[in-house]
């Protein structure tokens, strides 16, 4: 699915980003939740929700939102990085380190799967 497949989720997600930039993380979180309700697979909205909850001080909810994103996109290094940041901010250091390690491993796997520019004839 491309972002244009869900204009409502895209619009809501953009509004959430603007609210975050305006220093209104609680309102942004509500807006990102509405975007996710419009399109549960909208990864950008999930990332925004994680950040908004963290900025609003809802640290455990941020961890929960990050876990939902990891479940949605288990092979995405950025999802695991977001989880690591939320866990670290919430004080769950060993779990944060494990999530960061998982993100690094996934990134390495992606690098190994992508042909390097030097390897082309």
| pLDDT, tens only, 31-90 | 999 999 999 999 999 999 999 999 999 999 999 999 999 999 999 999 999 999 999 999
* pLDDT at residue 3 greater than cutoff 60: no
Only one residue has tokens 């690591």, namely 84
> DSSP string spanning 78-102?
HHHHHHHHHHHHTT-HHHHHHHHHH
Paired tokens of 43? 């990864």
pTM of the model: 0.87
Domain ranges of the chain: 3-114
Alpha-carbon torsion, ordered 22, 26, 30, 36, to 10 deg: 80
Percent of the chain with pLDDT over 90: 88
Find, among 73, 98, 103, 74, the residue nearest to 87 by Cα.
98
Give me the CATH topology for the region 3-114. 1.25.40
Q: Looking at residue 3, what DSSP letter applies?
A: G
Q: Looking at residue 75, what DSSP letter applies?
A: T
Give the Å distances, CA to CA, from 62 to 52, 73, 114, 119. 8, 16, 32, 41
Q: In angstroms, rounded to a whole number, what is the distance separating the alpha carbons of residues 91 and 107?
A: 25
């Amino acid at each position: 699915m491309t972002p244009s497949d869900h204009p409502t989720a895209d619009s809501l997600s953009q509004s959430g980003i603007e609210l975050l930039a305006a220093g209104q993380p609680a309102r942004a979180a509500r807006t990102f939740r509405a975007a996710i309700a419009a399109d549960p697979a909208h990864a950008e909205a999930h990332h925004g929700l994680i950040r908004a909850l963290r900025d609003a001080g809802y640290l455990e909810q941020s961890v929960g939102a990050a876990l939902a994103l990891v479940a949605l996109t288990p092979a995405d290094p950025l999802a695991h990085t977001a989880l690591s940041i939320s866990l670290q901010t919430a004080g769950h250091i060993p779990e944060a380190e494990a999530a960061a390690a998982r993100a690094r491993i996934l990134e390495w796997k992606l690098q190994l799967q992508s042909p390097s520019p030097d390897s082309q004839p």
